[in-house]
Amino acid sequence: MELREFLVWLISGGAGVATYWLMENVKFLAGLGSEAKRYVALVLPALLAGAGYSLMVAFSYESMPGTPQEWFEKLFFVMTAVWVGQVVHGRLKLKS
């Protein structure tokens, strides 16, 4: 996998998967109380995806969005990362 492919994966949902892994395997994050963990799990994938998108722009894989529609589309990717993290958590931890 090349860096560009990794960054595309990160901003299009991979940040949610990465967040799930971090929340389970990083001692500090795993030890948070349930409410704090929920808030961190909502914010962290957005930060990861935002950082991934910023790197794509910095490395000229993506051009700087120039219109409100382009900005909306990029922010939608960030929100997708948040949703995927919640879906993964629900599927693996909240099954009945």
Stated as kind and residue range, the H or E segment containing 49 is helix 34-58
Query: In the predicted model, is pLDDT for residue 92 greater than 90?
Result: no
Nearest of 59, 92, 27, 90 to residue 11 by alpha carbon:
59
Domain ranges of the chain: 13-91
Query: What span, in angstroms and rounded, lies between the C-alpha atoms of 68 and 65?
Result: 8
The answer to whether 5 and 61 have CB atoms below 8 angstroms apart is no
Res 20 pLDDT > 90: no
pTM given for the model: 0.77
Task: Check pLDDT > 60 for residue 96.
Answer: no
CB 19 within 8 A of CB 51: no
Find the range with the poorest average confidence among 23-27, 38-42, 83-87.
Answer: 83-87
Q: Are 46 and 81 in contact (CB under 8 A)?
A: yes
| pLDDT tens column, 37-80 | 888 888 888 889 888 988 998 999 988 888 989 878 887 877 77
